[in-house]
Amino acid sequence: MQPSDLPTPVNRISCPECGNDETFYEIAENAIITTVYSQNDDGSFTPEEENSEILGDIKLICGQCGKDLSMFHQRFSEMLF
């Protein structure tokens, strides 16, 4: 069996503008990101904990053509593992 013989998953998101089905960006508007750091003996810092709070919209954007694909964001969120 060749890789081209395998069935294509029906739940893949693809951009209706350019056909991209591999690269996407998630953009959160009005986000507060808080990072707690510890200072090391040498004066450098190490991040210990990060919290984020999103106050605005979250958009899904095509990584090739930049089209707003927010209509697929729910599906995208369900498929994060």
Handedness of CA 54, 56, 60, 62 (dihedral sign): negative
Domain boundaries, the chain: 14-78
Whole-number pLDDT of residue 10: 72
Instruction: Say if residue 9's pLDDT is above 90.
Output: no
Q: Both tokens of residue 54?
A: 């999103």
Task: Give pLDDT tens digits for 22-70.
Answer: 999 999 999 999 999 999 999 999 999 999 999 999 999 999 999 999 9
58/40 Cα distance (integer angstroms): 35
Q: Both tokens of residue 32?
A: 């507060």
Whole-number pLDDT of residue 3: 62
